[in-house]
Amino acid sequence: MKSQRVRKVTLERTEEKKVCPVCGKEFWGLKKAKFDSRECRDKDYYARNAAAIRERQNAAYQKRKKAAGKK
């Protein structure tokens, strides 16, 4: 029973040759892998959510600025 589970997990973890959509570098990755590195994954996330990220950062900055002025 255990050997069947191990075999199934091993079969699901097959690697393929892929191309990173951010940097264009070829890499070997699991079937579900999309990016070659965490850096590329983060760049893609920022590109898709830039406005929301800047808004959150600006809100945090304004909050810190306001708190510093009250002292």
**Paired tokens of 53:** 């990220």
3-class DSSP state for residue 15? strand
Indicate if the pLDDT at residue 1 is higher than 90: no
Nearest to 43 by CA among 17, 25, 30, 28: 25
pLDDT, tens only, 4-56: 666 666 666 889 999 999 999 999 999 999 999 999 999 999 999 999 999 99
How confident is the model at residue 69, as a pLDDT? 84
How confident is the model at residue 70, as a pLDDT? 72
29, 18 Cβ separation under 8 angstroms:
yes
